[in-house]
Chains A and B, each alone.
Chain A
Amino acid sequence: MAMQFYASPEQIMRDRSELARKGIARGRSAMVLSYADGVLFVAENLSSALHKVSEIYDRIGFAAVGRYNEFENLRRAGVRMADLNGLSYDRRDVTGRALANAFAQTLGAIFTEQSKPFEVEICVAQVGSAPEDDELYRLTYDGSVNDEPGRMAMGGQADAITGVLKSQHRPDMSLGEAVRAAVAALASVGGEGGAARTIAAHQLEVAVLDRRRVGRTFRRITGAALTALLDGDSAADVAPAPGVAKTPTVPTEEAHKPTTSAGSADLEGQADQPEA
């Protein structure tokens, strides 16, 4: 009689974890951190079309590392869920916590039920009215959720990067300081002989959730604006990217009303507003 092949549950889980961890560690890193005027996403990404960082909803962003098709599937699911809830209830009722929970359920179910776990690590970030109100959730391949204190790094050599980031990060940093600190942390690993690398602007994907805006707060920072930030041009700290409104909107007098549309609140009343 043929013996039934037996593997203990511990062994199966260990093997799956190992597979997922190896897959994630091969990829380039991404990080998310709070700064004075919002939440900053920085990812090392050679492609300008396949994003690791994206918008989910008005005040919620998404960053991921690992296999593109797997985290893209989760991102689309997140956008669908957020838009459905926002339409059914109100735009203010879409929260990062609910999304993080939904992602955790999905990832957990895939980890235990499917033969191959998702090789991804994701971050759901929600920008608040002040850095201490920001919410960063780290979700790993097995569905576990962690609430991170104002900064986090994911991907290959995340521990080393987190160490560097932790020593430099302050919640009251300006955008320029935050971008330079993040890029320095990314560049601190992977160089020859343990030396720091240089990462050019075109290898970076940078975006922010700008807490000073009403409506949709997510903005990508690309091209000349990004180069200026990396070069430490102090003017760039206040001058946003082209294509972005010159001055970020603060809530206008209409802001006590519920936001009826992202387009509306975002672009109404851009005039006369103080530099934050």
Chain B
Amino acid sequence: MFTNAGTSSFTTFLSRVAPEMLPGRRPLPPGMAADLAPHATTIVAISAVGGVVMAGDRRATMGNLIAQRDIEKVHPADAYSLVGIAGTAGIGIELMRLFQVELEHYEKIEGAMLSLDGKANRLASMIRGNLGAAMQGLAVIPLFAGFDLAASDPATAGRIFSFDVTGGPYGETGYDAIGSGSLFAKSALKKRYRAGISLDEAVRLAVEALYDAADDDTATGGPDLTRRIYPVVMTASADGTHRLTDAETATIAEAVVAARMENPGG
């Protein structure tokens, strides 16, 4: 089963040899299942000069309960791109792992990376495969961002793609957010974002936007100073993907909180 000439796509290979491992292929009993599993919430992405920033809060909720305080929803998809997951946590994490393997698999088989648009299209078709489950309340929406190695100008190489349950991808300009707090995060970014900001400024902006989301959305967690749980912040640039250390995000989050002590609205 491994030696057929076949395809460079891992999901296509799986659909032939192990279709039960593809999230979209499982038969679901009828009825709504929305309250069954924890939901992951807000992710923001901001493009900056020379790259892109993605940040996510750490909360997963189940109805009115907090299911997890330190879930990690922003991950590297490969060496130059990032993926964040909102929606049903279990399916989201499974899709994200599958997407990571898909990109790595193509790279190893073909000896070359997929283009950034190719990666986004691949993710769109994987989300579309989950449409049946989404209609029963188990929706997963990713946010995808990366450094486009083929871009003519490295300054504008950071690109963001959004999706809906029917697929996508939709190229976004400047910034985007997904998840329950995205309305507030995007409103904050709308007033604060300007084209041509640096990566460092974008990191601060992302943490500010997550604070605003947590301020007005109960499902989004703000910086947890008592437990020292801070947002996950990652960047993708010409040097690859990079996750800010806990100490770095702590410094930024504490500065944001200190500023809000003066002016709660930011």
| Residues of A bordering B, CB below 8 Å | 49, 51, 54-56, 73-74, 76-81, 83-84, 86-88, 102, 106, 216, 245, 260-264, 266-270
Interface pair B75/A264, CB less than 8 Å apart: yes
The residue from B3, B239, B242 contacting A73, defined by CB atoms under 8 A apart? B3
The residue from B21, B77, B111, B245 contacting A87, defined by CB atoms under 8 A apart? B21
Interface pair B100/A73, CB less than 8 Å apart: no
Which residue of chain B has the shortest Cβ distance to A262 in the bound complex?
A: B104
Complex CA–CA separation, A76 to B76 (angstroms): 24
Interface pair A55/B18, CB less than 8 Å apart: no
A249 to chain B, nearest CB (A): 11
Which residue of chain B has the shortest Cβ distance to A49 in the bound complex?
A: B111
Interface pair A55/B108, CB less than 8 Å apart: yes
A79-B105, A83-B10 given; A74·B79 CB < 8 A? no
B193, CB-defined interface residue at 8 Å: no
Q: How large is the interface on B (under 10, 10 to 19, 20 to 34, 35 or more residues)?
A: 20 to 34
Which residue of chain B has the shortest Cβ distance to A62 in the bound complex?
A: B108
Interface pair B97/A267, CB less than 8 Å apart: no
Which residue of chain A has the shortest Cβ distance to B17 in the bound complex?
A: A84
List, in ascending order, chain B residues with CB within 8 A of A55's CB.
108
List, in ascending order, chain A residues with CB within 8 A of B17's CB.
84
Interface pair A264/B76, CB less than 8 Å apart: yes
Q: Tell me the dominant secondary structure on chain A's binding face.
A: helix
Complex CA–CA separation, A68 to B191 (angstroms): 58
The residue from A49, A77, A81, A263 contacting B100, defined by CB atoms under 8 A apart? A263
A242 to chain B, nearest CB (A): 13
Complex CA–CA separation, A182 to B240 (angstroms): 32
Interface pair B13/A80, CB less than 8 Å apart: yes
- 25 CB-based A-B contacts, threshold 8 Å: A49-B111, A56-B108, A73-B5, A74-B3, A78-B2, A79-B109, A80-B2, A83-B10, A83-B105, A83-B108, A87-B101, A216-B104, A260-B75, A260-B97, A261-B76, A261-B77, A261-B100, A262-B100, A263-B78, A263-B104, A263-B241, A267-B79, A267-B239, A268-B241, A270-B242
The residue from A81, A262, A268, A270 contacting B2, defined by CB atoms under 8 A apart? A81
List, in ascending order, chain B residues with CB within 8 A of A73's CB.
3, 5
Of residues 177 through 236 on chain B, the ones whose CB sits less than 8 Å from some CB of chain A are none
Interface pair A83/B18, CB less than 8 Å apart: no
Complex CA–CA separation, A56 to B108 (angstroms): 7
List, in ascending order, chain A residues with CB within 8 A of B18's CB.
84
B14, CB-defined interface residue at 8 Å: yes
B128, CB-defined interface residue at 8 Å: no
List, in ascending order, chain A residues with CB within 8 A of B97's CB.
87, 260-261
Interface pair A267/B13, CB less than 8 Å apart: no
List, in ascending order, chain B residues with CB within 8 A of A261's CB.
75-78, 97, 100, 104
The residue from B21, B79, B105 contacting A263, defined by CB atoms under 8 A apart? B79
A45 to chain B, nearest CB (A): 13
Which residue of chain A has the shortest Cβ distance to B82 in the bound complex?
A: A263
Complex CA–CA separation, A49 to B104 (angstroms): 19
Interface pair A88/B10, CB less than 8 Å apart: no
Complex CA–CA separation, A78 to B108 (angstroms): 11
Complex CA–CA separation, A268 to B78 (angstroms): 12
B234 to chain A, nearest CB (A): 9
Interface pair A267/B101, CB less than 8 Å apart: no
Which residue of chain B has the shortest Cβ distance to A106 in the bound complex?
A: B3
Interface pair B101/A83, CB less than 8 Å apart: yes
Which residue of chain B has the shortest Cβ distance to A254 in the bound complex?
A: B243
